[in-house]
Amino acid sequence: MELKIKRETIPVSECIYDGVQEQNIGLDYILPDYYPDIFRLVHCETVPVITDYSVSGSKLTYELRCDMRILYCGDSSSVLQCVTQQQTYTKTVELDRACDKADVTLSPKTDHVNFRALNKRRLDLRGTVSVKICVTCDKESEVISDAEGMNIQLRRVPVSFASVKVSSDKTIQLTDDTELNAAQPDILSIVSCRCTLADCECKLISGKLLAKGNVKISLLYSCETDGEGQLEPMEFTVPYSQIIDVTDIDDTFSISVTPEVISCEITPSADKNGANRILRCELEMRLGCRAVKTASVMLAQDAFSTVYPCDVLSTEISAQQLPDVTSESFHCTAKLAEGDDMPQKVYAVRCTPRNINTRLSDDGGAVTVSGMLTYSTAVRDAGGMISMPERDEAFEQEILLDKKAAEDSTITAEIKVKDVSYNISDNGTLTAKADITADISVSSASRIKVLTDIAADDSVKKQRDGDYAIKLYFGVENEDVWEIAKRYSTSVEAVMEENELSGDKLGEGGMLLIPIVL
């Protein structure tokens, strides 16, 4: 008698690197002659950006750029001065193995930064940035999907996996000119600039992928009114619409496009009257397209023969699923100032999420998201000086999931601050409200045991402990019917039919009749 085995080759996702790299940053800067002497330091900001990356063999190489901005006031004017510098670092990572089509995730953040004035013309900055790195790669694994002959019994489970993955990145440049309105003062210099990305819409048109969205630019610029330095906030939107060439995808794929700002240069330009009243925005963006086609197959988890001794070999695979995403909006408020700390004027309030953590509920139906919200204000303080104080506020929000998550699911949360508003109450309290959207991604990539080989010996038969057709057995609550059938070398179907069972586990337990199958 011959044992016929049917096999399937499926791609299995394997993590080949998961870690964090740190990079020390430093700046020793002497002011050019056209800058005034340093009188008072106001603020410092360092923004790390991944500008490029590549994988060659077992080595990942990426470019890390740090955009540094130092604000200060000169000794003869209250106008805010801005020093901007960039530093670029080339970093490498040795992966566990070579990979032709690696899926790379690089997430940079600033850990800390300190700055000081060594003298009236010299600035010193020291800090650390870190990059969280995750690299996965697919490898083919041959597993058993079915078998017949030699009285073989199979335990099979449905397994869904990403059968085809297609990725493509496109870098685009956008240019936009925005003119100030009549009520806004002339621009002296750009003090700060932040980009907020709206969700990217994408759809297939005649085999091409169309990606559309917009970037909201929020900036502060320094100006002068009646001989006194001031700050002026401004917002405008830059739209984009791009065709991305992605081959061999159709409507059966799940497609997403993730936009990312690589650089945003805002330059004041003169209008026809020679005044700096035009803002030229030059944006560089990366559009990351990911398309996944899923498939489902029945795979064998365990096997035995009711007649012959049988050995099995198994392995664990990570069957990666498409993530389930739940989005929810909520508000957070924070008291920023009151009493003697109240500023004379508020120019702008911003909010940045940091140190985000997630915790899955016991029943898998909800995720608690927690972290810190850093509120940054640009104000004229009680002493009449322009300052930019920051305040950290902890937050925690429970979010009900659209679909329950398994205990071993991977949970990630992307926190976006859509808008920040502020209010000064009648009793003189400055309060900020942040409108937040949380995108909770639940990825199921649990390890599943599957069979890679079955070997049955037809030269000898199993020895039974007696000559009988039915055996009595006392089952316990929630006992697995497969394990009972395997223990007595019979079939699951025979046990279930003989005892009129409806599920693969016993209910309350009790006496069972175990028919012997030859």
pLDDT at residue 500, as a whole number = 86
* pLDDT at res. 408: 73
Could you tell me the pLDDT band of residue 444, with boundaries at 50, 70 and 90? low
Whether the pLDDT of residue 172 is over 90: the answer is yes
Query: According to the model, what pLDDT value does residue 154 have?
Result: 95
Most confident of 2-6, 159-163, 165-169: 2-6
* Per-residue pLDDT tens over the stretch 378-388: 999 988 899 99
The pLDDT value recorded for residue 188 is 93
Give the pLDDT band (50/70/90) at residue 162.
Answer: confident
The one-letter amino acid code at 229 reads: G
Burial class (CB in 10 A: 0-12, 13-18, 19+), 512: buried
Report pLDDT for 430.
96
232 neighbors 185 (Cβ within 8 angstroms):
yes
Which residues are CB-contacts of 184 (< 8 A; sequence separation ≥ 6)?
Answer: 232, 234, 277
Which of these, 317, 294, 306, lies nearest to 451 by C-alpha position?
317
- Is a pLDDT exceeding 70 seen at residue 173? yes
Q: What is the pLDDT of residue 111?
A: 94
- Other CB atoms within a 10 A radius of the CB of residue 80 amount to 26
Q: What's the confidence (pLDDT) of residue 199?
A: 83
User: Which residues in 471-506 are b (16+ Cβ under 10 Å) and which e?
Assistant: eebebeeebebbebbbebbbbbebbeeebebeeeeb
> What is the rounded distance in angstroms from the CA atom of residue 203 to the CA atom of residue 416?
23
Span 258-308, pLDDT tens digits: 999 999 999 999 999 999 999 999 999 999 998 888 888 999 999 999 999
Phi, psi of 193, deg, nearest 5: -150, 130
Tokens 């397994």 — which residue?
159
Residue 14: the pLDDT is 83
User: Is the separation of the CB atoms in 517 and 490 below 8 Å?
Assistant: yes
Task: State residue 1's pLDDT score.
Answer: 62
Tell me how far apart the alpha carbons of residues 472 and 5 are, in angstroms, rounded to a whole number. Answer: 33
Nearest residue to 322 (alpha-carbon basis) of 431, 473, 160 = 160
Residue 518 scores a pLDDT above 70: no
For residue 140, the model assigns a pLDDT of: 86
The secondary structure of 150-214 as a DSSP string is: TTEEEEEEEEEEEEEEEEEEEEEEEEEEEEPPTTSPPP-EEEEEEEEEPPPEEEEETTEEEEEEE
Please check the confidence at residue 466 and state whether its pLDDT lies above 90: no
* Region of poorest pLDDT, from 113-117, 404-408, 513-517: 404-408
Q: What is the pLDDT of residue 198?
A: 84
If one compares 345 and 14, the residue with the highest pLDDT of the two is 345
Q: What is the pLDDT of residue 168?
A: 87
* Percent of the chain at pLDDT exceeding 90: 66
pLDDT-wise least confident of 175-179, 407-411, 429-433: 407-411
pLDDT beyond 80 at 133? yes
- Distance from C-alpha of 100 to C-alpha of 10, rounded to nearest angstrom: 17
Beta carbons of 296 and 204 less than 8 angstroms apart: no
Pair 134, 96: CB distance under 8 Å? no
Question: Taking the model in full, what pTM does it have?
Answer: 0.83
| Distance between CA atoms of residues 441 and 325, nearest Å | 4
- Mapped onto helix, strand or coil, the DSSP state of residue 497 is helix
Q: What whole-number distance in Å separates Cα of residue 205 and Cα of residue 152? A: 50
Lowest mean pLDDT among 32-36, 160-164, 416-420: 160-164
pLDDT at residue 446 is higher than 70? no
HSE of 193 in the Cβ direction (CA atoms, 13 Å)? 25
Query: 419-434 pLDDT, tens per residue?
Result: 999 999 988 899 999 9
| Higher pLDDT pick, 514 / 465 | 514
Instruction: Output the pLDDT for position 218.
Output: 93
209 pLDDT more than 80? yes
pLDDT at 251: 87
Confidence at residue 321, expressed as pLDDT on a 0 to 100 scale: 62
pLDDT surpasses 70 at 319: no
Q: Given this model, what pLDDT does residue 382 score?
A: 87
CA distance 514 to 518: 13
Cα gap 351→334, rounded to integer Å: 10
According to the model, what pLDDT value does residue 324 have?
82
Average pLDDT over the chain reads 91
pLDDT, mean of residues 217-231: 90
pLDDT in tens, 60-77: 999 999 999 999 998 878
Burial 211-232 (b: 16+ CB within 10 A, else e): bebbbebbbbbbbeeeeebbbb
> Measured on CA atoms in the order 175, 233, 259, 17, is the torsion positive or negative?
positive
pLDDT of the residue at 76 = 78
Higher pLDDT, 293 or 23: 23
Minimal CA–CA distance to 93: which of 134, 52, 65, 127?
Answer: 134
**What pLDDT, on a 0 to 100 scale, did the predictor assign at position 397?**
96
pLDDT category, 445, cuts 50, 70, 90? low
